[in-house]
A = this chain, B = another copy of it.
Amino acid sequence: MEDMLYLMNSLWVMVSAILVIFMIAGFIMLEAGSTRMKNAGHIAGKTAFTFGLASLVFWAVGFAFIFGDNANFFVGLSNFFYSGAELDLGLSSTVFFVFQLAFAGIAITIALGGFAERAKLSVYVLFTILFSAFVYPVVAHWIWGGGWLAEHGKQDFAGSTVVHLTGAMAALAATILLKPRIGRFNKDGSANAIHGHNQVFTSLGVLILWVGWFGFNAGSTVSVDAGFFGFVALNTQLAAGAGAVAALIISWIVLGKSDIPTILNGALAGLVAITASCAFVDTWAAVVIGLIAGVLVFYGAKLMEKLGIDDPIFALSVHGIPGIWGTLSTGFFATPELATVGQPGLFYGGGFTQLGVQAMGVLASGAFAFVVSFALLFVIKKLLGGLRVSEEEEIMGLDISEHGTYGYPEVFADNQSKAAGK
């Protein structure tokens, strides 16, 4: 009987891990669709590459820092260059490892969203290594690896903080250091929209992410126990739908029209927000959490513009702000029945206890991710003599500047001939 549960847990988490890995394909399409044609090959290809690189780094050191034994308050310290050793987790340890590796891959991918359309390829390579080796594992250890925030009772079921906020804070550090893309802001501080080149790509990307999120959230049960993953999946679906609906309504009211990227970001924001609380709240609360996330993502994007922050593929407005909201939402909506580990939320008589812990977790994790990412990028900047391609290269596009071939060679045929000196 025990054995059967072990096998079933392994099977479910294996499927979930594959779904989370599929989210990389979602980001490829979302990011390529949200940027310009001249950078599309670069954006798509580097996302595949950095996932591969992050996998090796996670295998070498990341996993050890999060889940290793001999842990201090900061990181764990065993299972470097993980060999597949059995770790007594109630499911196959290698399956658990692949699942965690996939999460690390998502975190760096979100982070790199802040670099889009202007950072050098070498910056991507170096930051991927450092973030995957150190930034993400430390936060993950604090919350999921038995670190100090876990000891304080911080709840983050599938990673609104660990994955989404951490990634978004690194993206923020990057976009501040890199400065906005050419033409994004005028001298008077007013903003120009830089439209992504392909909303079909963006839509496909969002749907792939949506699908993958069932692995992300429902797989984070790490068990088939009582078929509870179904409840988590249901909350996930409702929050996604609610986010899309809220974003459509708010943008229609405010702008008179509802553009596709806003609607899609609404769905993503719902997904990001429910990630922390999907196992702890009632279905109606999942709808409310999603609706609020859909409004937040709309105003969040406006806020970034107002602050003069260039958030090319919405790392901050989609993953950052809804990630914070989602983490806090547990402190409001967690029910006594479902919050078996943490405290019930404010609306269920749990008082401010859990809400306070959640806020502390947001602040500590967010600050750590931002400060360390900023410092690392600052060092990389000194090392490489700058994070950003030249103005000429940025105008020409990173497909050519970083890779020597266009992602759409037939569209840019003339340019390409010129670039090749023909």
Residues of A in contact with B (beta carbons under 8 Å apart) = 1, 4-8, 10-12, 14-15, 17-19, 21-22, 24-25, 28-29, 32, 36-37, 40-42, 44-45, 47-49, 51-56, 59, 81-84, 91-98, 101, 121, 125, 193, 195-204, 206-208, 210-211, 214-215, 218, 224, 226-231, 233-234, 237-238, 240-245, 248, 255, 257-261, 263-264, 267, 282-284, 287, 399, 402-410
A405's contact among B94, B203, B204, B260, by CB below 8 Å, is which?
B260
Whether B8 contacts A200 by the Cβ 8 Å rule is no
Q: How far is the CA of A47 from the CA of B203 in the complex (A)?
A: 9
* With known contacts A52-B240, A404-B259, A97–B230 Cβ distance under 8 A: yes
A220 to chain B, nearest CB (A): 14
Q: A18-B19, A44-B200, A283-B83 are in contact. Are A55 and B238 (CB under 8 A)?
A: yes
A177, chain B: closest CB distance, angstroms: 24
Bound CA–CA A7/B44 (angstroms) = 38
User: Does B259 lie within 8 Å of A405, measured CB to CB?
Assistant: yes
What is the bound-complex CA distance between A211 and B49, given in angstroms? 14
A91 contacts across to B, CB distance below 8 A: 227
A37 contacts across to B, CB distance below 8 A: 410
Interface contacts beyond A14-B227, A52-B240: sample of 14 additional A-B pairs, CB < 8 Å, sorted by A = A25-B208, A37-B410, A41-B200, A41-B260, A45-B260, A52-B242, A52-B244, A83-B284, A97-B234, A101-B237, A125-B248, A196-B409, A197-B410, A198-B407
The answer to whether A230 touches B24, judged by C-beta atoms less than 8 angstroms apart, is no
Q: How far is the CB of A89 from chain B (nearest CB, A)?
A: 10
Q: Could you list 26 A-B pairs, sorted by A, with CB under 8 Å?
A: A7-B227, A8-B8, A10-B227, A14-B218, A14-B230, A18-B233, A37-B410, A41-B203, A41-B260, A45-B203, A49-B244, A53-B245, A56-B238, A82-B283, A91-B227, A92-B226, A92-B231, A94-B231, A94-B233, A95-B229, A125-B248, A193-B405, A198-B200, A199-B399, A257-B402, A257-B404
- Report the minimum CB–CB distance from A114 to chain B (whole Å): 20
CA distance A48 to B203 in the complex (A): 7
Residue of B nearest to A7 (CB): B224
Are the C-beta atoms of B207 and A48 separated by less than 8 Å? yes
Q: Are A56 and B98 in contact (CB under 8 A)?
A: no
Cβ of A238: which chain B residues have Cβ within 8 Å of it?
Answer: 55-56, 59
Contact A25 B211 (CB under 8 A): yes
* Chain B hits for A84, CB < 8 A: 231, 234, 282-283
Judge whether A6 and B82 touch: CB under 8 Å.
Answer: no
Residues of B within 8 A of A408 (CB): 197-199
B residues in contact with A245, CB < 8 Å: 49, 52-53, 56
Do A95 and B405 contact each other (CB < 8 Å), given the known contacts A83-B283, A203-B47, A410-B37? no
**In the assembled complex, which residues on chain B have CB atoms less than 8 Å from the CB atom of A234?**
82, 84, 94, 97-98, 101
Q: State A15–B219 Cα separation when bound (angstroms).
A: 11
CB neighbours (8 Å) of A399 from chain B are 199, 260
Interchain CB contact under 8 A, A40 and B200: yes
Q: Residues of B contacting A410 with CB < 8 Å?
A: 36-37, 195, 197
